[in-house]
Structure 1
Amino acid sequence: MKKNFSTLVNKNTITSIAIGGFDGMHAAHQKLFEKLDENGAILSIESGYANLTPKSYRQEYSKYPIYYYVLENIKHLEGKEFIKLLKEEYPNLKKIVVGFDFCFGKGRKNCVTELKELFNGEVEVLDEVKIDTIAVHSRVIREYLKEGNIKIANKLLGKEYKIYGKHIKGQGLGAKSFVPTINLFVEEFLLPNEGVYATKTILNNKEYNSITFLGHRVTTDGSYAVETHILDKNIKNEEFVVQIKFFEKLRDNKKFDSFDNLKKQILLDIDKANSYLENI
């Protein structure tokens, strides 16, 4: 679950910082964090576009405290002013770690060269990280998720893609006509391509093998839904917030001629999900 260390750490003790957007807290970001010392911290620039790990959800993926800076509040600062702000807020700062494409200051006119000139400490720049020849960037991961290519997205993330959602009341058809599902309202997270996925659902801090559908319910009411079914267990969920980790896409969303055909397909999906997840 999320943790907020920022209020627990005295900024005077921080000697190294990593600066970036850090949406996804992916494999390349983790390489960046490895360059921090034991008194390190992460400065996350909030552009308003983060949807892989929005807001303070990033803290879940780092042992270092994360401080959030709203881009709108600092984008007017010239390069020198930005470095001055850092020195004022972190008076014992000795090292800054950034990615190769880092730019800062008004109009983003200052980049790595200027950072080394303006900061009177160590600047470490991480080269572009590639996995299986694919450059690891948040924008690249988003595209794979939009395509439903969970395996590659997870490889670039260095973990399973996970969303949080609020438990809401569904149609009521699942338990009566098909299989019982937990229906979710997901606000801030990017949702993968429509379809059926092998997943794990986290309730009360416990992981359960599950199968998750997200997309328009084209066979029933046509509305968009995110619903997950816990495999092999009759779980009565009373948790308001539910987490889902995605492992593999099983099939695309499709329309069925009858409820009976839909139910047959759901049972086939469940068998496929069980076979996949039991080998993880």
Structure 2
Amino acid sequence: MKKSSSILVNKKDITAIALGGFDGMHIAHQELFNHLGDKGAVVSIESEYANLTPKTYRQEYCKYPIYYYILENIKHLSGEEFISLLKEEFPNLEKIVVGFDFCFGKNRKNCISELKNLFHGEVTVVDEIKLDGIPVHSRIIRDYIKDGDIKQANRLLGKEYKIFGNQIKGQGLGSKSFVPTINLNIEDFILPTEGVYLTKTIINEEELPSVTFLGHRVTTDGSFAVETHIIDKNIKNRFSLVQIKFIDKIRDNKKFNSFEELKKQIELDLKMAKDLLK
């Protein structure tokens, strides 16, 4: 799927909004959206910490229009001023949906009780969502991703963790000495710990099974790389935008004593990936 653009809706037609950061668009966020009804929208407060689904990538995971408010531009507002802004932006607003830990206003001084006092309409508060006793929060998902525990991160996300990148020129060793790879430049997205992963690579909206390496090329030039190999398919064309979905971790990054050792390990990686796909 291509990166989605915002859905155009007249703000006067919106009667309910969900408020929050919504980085990750995970299963707890989806529960908030379930309370919006037919004339809902999402108000995403943008901070510099959003790196699970940064910028406008969130729209892919939501059927409602998403409006982005830069935290830096509104953090000086008092609680009352913030609610007044929302009423001005959405003149027919009747309902606000938030998570149990939502706070707002200058220095986050206002929380649920103040929201109910300041907003003269319905306030729906969604309790903390847990999966097998694990609280579903973006910060916890980030920790799982950074640790390389992709399967657990995906469970909390309710989908496969996905990054977007632009294709760049690689070393040129892959197609000559090892396996052909698509090398990517990744910006904005948090990356899993260094290693080899079972993935799906999406090119021109086609989802292809793949193995992705990310980390420092400690056996060759030592530089950091994100490179993906399409299983049983040689992709020769260049692409401006490539998407990678992470499914599972195959192994950690490691240094090999020779190209021959590395080549044998790559063959083992591919075999394991195919076994996991089965």
- TM category, shorter: over 0.9
Extract structure 1 runs of 4+ deviating beyond 3 A.
none
TM-score (norm 2): 0.98
Q: Which amino acid aligns with 2:215?
A: G
1:113 aligns with 2:113: yes
Partner of 1:200: 200
Q: Which amino acid aligns with 2:70?
A: V
Partner of 1:189: 189
Q: Count residues in correspondence.
A: 277
Deviation at 1:65, TM superposition (A): 0.4
Deviation at 1:236, TM superposition (A): 2.1
Deviation at 1:149, TM superposition (A): 0.3
Is the partner of 2:202 in helix, strand or coil?
Answer: strand
Partner of 1:209: 209
Deviation at 1:2, TM superposition (A): 2.2
Q: Which amino acid aligns with 1:214?
A: L
Is the partner of 1:266 in helix, strand or coil?
Answer: helix
Partner of 2:85: 85
Q: Give, in whole Å, the separation in 2 of the partners of 1:156 and 1:125.
A: 20
Deviation at 1:5, TM superposition (A): 2.8
TM-score (norm 1): 0.98
Structure 2's unaligned 5+ residue stretches are: none
Matched-pair contact (CA < 8 Å) for 2:6–2:56: no
Matched-pair contact (CA < 8 Å) for 1:4–1:65: no
Deviation at 1:50, TM superposition (A): 0.4
Partner of 1:3: 4
Partner of 1:177: 177
Q: Which amino acid aligns with 1:145?
A: I
Deviation at 1:224, TM superposition (A): 0.4
Q: Give, in whole Å, the separation in 2 of the partners of 1:150 and 1:66.
A: 27
Percent identity of paired positions between Structure 1 and Structure 2: 71
Partner of 2:98: 98
Is the partner of 1:144 in helix, strand or coil?
Answer: helix
Deviation at 1:235, TM superposition (A): 1.9
Q: Which amino acid aligns with 2:193?
A: N
Partner of 1:20: 20
Partner of 2:233: 233
Deviation at 1:239, TM superposition (A): 1.5
Partner of 1:58: 58
RMSD (CA atoms): 0.7
1:137 aligns with 2:137: yes
Is the partner of 1:202 in helix, strand or coil?
Answer: strand
